[in-house]
Amino acid sequence: MAHKGFELPSLISGTLIQRYKRFLADVELETGEKVTVHCPNTGSMKGCAIPGSQVWLSESDNPKRKYKYTWELIKVPGTMIGINTHVPNKLVKLSIENNLIKALSGYDQVRAEVKTSSHTRLDLVLENGVVEKCYVEIKNCTLVEEGVAMFPDAVSTRGQKHLDELVHLVSLGHRGVIFFLIQRMDARVFKPAEMIDKVYAEKLRKAVQKGVEIIAMDAAINLRLIRIGNTIPVDLD
């Protein structure tokens, strides 16, 4: 059970040429063929899209897809990074269900994509038969500089709205958790990226003062599996 994680499909190795238009990247395969691939990460990918880096792709056999390859992993000095933003939600849910996240244990039902108001959905709600629920919003974190993991890597008005929603839910008597999944293995501490989104950093501090909990964890990554890793200390100063 300790090895439970998100299983990666078979991967193909290549070298990153460039990432552009947010959703696209050009990659040279080991065969020498150059292909355009889908990039499943809409963030700035600061520090995670360095030309010349080794990358790994999955291949789809869906004939309706315009680009058959999807970029999954990149290797940078010191770590591999999972860049697919669809992974964190699946991985965190799976890890909670398998009792691998101590701070979120004790719940017998985990539901995804929960509408909490007319204008907001949160990633998970955890329930155990009592009125108080635990709402969890999961954020994919790939920006690490000198061991400091930071979020967001671009201004995130959507992320700001999620913090406001968690504060509201806590005021109603529920648990509210913002979960930063660091999809790499070289972080020593987590901080909000104040220099990128000052408003988000301020809202995060205020949310914690009002009872919202922060969990930051990294991931253990290899070419077969991404699994939940270690709890990373949070520094809000």
Q: Is there a contact between 169 and 117 (Cβ–Cβ < 8 Å)?
A: no
**Strand 24-29, strand 34-38: pairing:** antiparallel
Give the domain CATH number at 46.
Answer: 2.40.50.580
Do 28 and 48 have their domain in common? yes
Do 113 and 219 have their domain in common? yes
Do 179 and 65 have their domain in common? no
DSSP the chain: -TT--EE---EEEEEEEEEETTTEEEEEETTS-EEEEE----S--TTS--TT-EEEEEE---TT-S--EEEEEEEETTEEEE--TTHHHHHHHHHHHTT--GGG-S-SEEEEEEEEETTEEEEEEEE-SSS--EEEEEEEE-EEETTEEEE-SS--HHHHHHHHHHHHHHHTT-EEEEEEEE-SS--SEEEE-TTT-HHHHHHHHHHHHTT-EEEEEEEEE-SSEEEEEEE--B---
Do 195 and 129 have their domain in common? yes
Give me the domain span that covers residue 23: 6-77
Q: Is position 149 within any domain?
A: yes
Q: Is position 216 within any domain?
A: yes
Give the domain CATH number at 223.
Answer: 3.40.1350.60
The total domain count for the chain is: 2
Which of 77, 99, 125 is where one domain is finished?
Answer: 77
Do 62 and 157 have their domain in common? no
Q: Is position 237 within any domain?
A: no
Residue 215's nearest CA partner among 132, 95, 117, 77 is 95
Do 218 and 154 have their domain in common? yes
Q: Is position 236 within any domain?
A: no
Angle at 196 between CA 216 and CA 92, to 5 degrees: 25
Do 47 and 113 have their domain in common? no
Do 93 and 185 have their domain in common? yes
Do 46 and 159 have their domain in common? no
Which of 22, 56, 77 is where one domain is finished?
Answer: 77
- Residue by residue, pLDDT tens for the chain (237 residues) are 346 899 999 999 999 999 999 999 999 999 999 999 999 998 899 999 999 999 999 999 999 999 999 999 999 999 999 999 999 999 999 999 999 999 999 999 999 999 998 889 999 999 998 889 999 999 999 999 999 999 999 999 999 999 999 999 999 999 999 999 999 999 999 999 999 999 999 999 999 999 999 999 999 999 999 999 999 999 998
Q: Is position 82 within any domain?
A: no
